[in-house]
Each structure stands twice: as C-alpha cells, then as structure tokens.
Amino acid sequence: MDNIEEATEAAFKRLQAIIPQVKQAYEEAIGQIFSDLNSSDLESCASILEAHESTSLDTEQIVSSTRRLMTKVVLDVNQCFFSGNDVETKLTTLEMLKEQFAPHEGKNWNFNCLSPEELTRPLRMHNLDLSIKFMEKQLQIQERDLEIAMTKSIANRNRIDDINAERVRVGCMMKEQMAEYQDIKPRLLEVERLMNDSYLQQGM
C-alpha cells in the first residue's frame, strides 16, 4: 500500500506541472476576447456627439480603456473560478485518470454485452474489501484481547511461582525439622523410659 500511495503522490506532483500551462492558455484566450473591439464601432456615436455638442470623442482611447477594463474583469472572474472551485486539484486528478485509463481508450463500454459476473464484479470487489477491513478489525480486537490475557497469565504465573517457592521453602523447613527430630528422637525415648521407670519405682 505504501508503494502505491508513493507512486500516486509522485504522479500527482508530476502532473501538477500542467496547471501553469492551462492558466496561461486561459489568460491568453481571455486576452483575445475583446481584441475585435474597434474604434470604428464608436464612429456613429462620435459623429452624433460632434454634430450636436461640438465635442470630439477619442474613440481609440475609449476602446483601449474598455478593452483593458473588460479583460481585467474576466481575468479576475477566471482567477476566482480557479481558486473557489479547486480547479488545480481537479485538473490534476483528471489528468491522472486520463493517464491511468489510457489503455482502455476505444474500448466498448456497452454494459449490455457484459456477463452477470462482469457486471457484479465491482460490487463483489467492494464487498470483499469491506470483508477484509472487518477481518482486520477483528484481528486487532483479538490481538488486544490476547495481550490482556497474556498480561493476566503472566500475573497468574508469577503468583503460582511465588506459591511454589513458598511450598519449597516450607518443605525445606519441614525436612530440617524432621531431621532434627530424628536426631533427638533416641534421647526423647530414653528420657521417656527413665521417667516411666522413676514413676514405677515411686509406686512400689
């Protein structure tokens, strides 16, 4: 997935180079919109004004000023259109799609000729993608539960180890005490015998 994303990003950056060319083409076209304005278009107005008010009309200046003003207005509108509609991104995306689907140019897209399997392939691919994502989430949940269980298992194992260690310690103590008892057992028996003999002698 990382390689695909990197390739897509690289293609996007590469195709962004067309944006200045497109803008320049638009600006050049806009610059020609009012190029056919001519001072002769105002000759009738100039004649009427001169006849009735004895005023000379500078038609060349008026046409030139009008051409500049109208061109600027259209250029501003064009700039707002590019900025407000994210045209740069859309144009680049369009070029990417054209490049990606170039091998399919001229292909017959008559869906009536497709088999049911071909018609349903996009839907099945989408469902497969959803299934994979669902399985990925389930695996993540299972991994989390496994980590929790492992943590509890480690804690329980530590408790068991502590209990076993305590049992071993107590067992060792019992063995030591039994060994000591075995050592003094003959003396205890002798003391008991002497006490019994003394008691019997007192009874006589």
Report pTM.
0.42
Please give the full DSSP string across 28-80, using - where no structure is assigned. HHHHTTTTT--GGGGHHHHHHHHHHH-----HHHHHHHHHHHHHHHHHHHHHH
Kindly list the domain boundaries of the chain, sorted by start residue. Answer: 2-104
* Model confidence at 1: pLDDT above 60: no
Q: CB-based contacts of 120: which residues, under 8 Å, 6+ apart?
A: none
Kindly indicate the confidence band of residue 160, based on its pLDDT and cuts at 50, 70 and 90: confident
- In the block, tokens 């000591």 appear at 180
* Model confidence at 198: pLDDT above 70: no
Total number of residues shown for the chain: 204
- The residue that leads in pLDDT, 115 or 159, is 159
- In the block, tokens 């209990």 appear at 163
* Model confidence at 180: pLDDT above 60: yes
Are 20 and 79 within 8 A, CB to CB?
no
What pLDDT does 197 receive?
65
CA distance 97 to 103: 11
Above pLDDT 90, what percent of the chain?
2
pLDDT, tens digit (0-9, with 9 covering 90-100), for 133-146? 888 888 888 888 88
Q: CB-based contacts of 56: which residues, under 8 Å, 6+ apart?
A: 46, 50
Of the listed ranges 15-24, 32-41, 50-59, 184-193, the least confidently predicted one is 50-59
Kindly indicate the confidence band of residue 204, based on its pLDDT and cuts at 50, 70 and 90: low
What pLDDT does 55 receive?
66
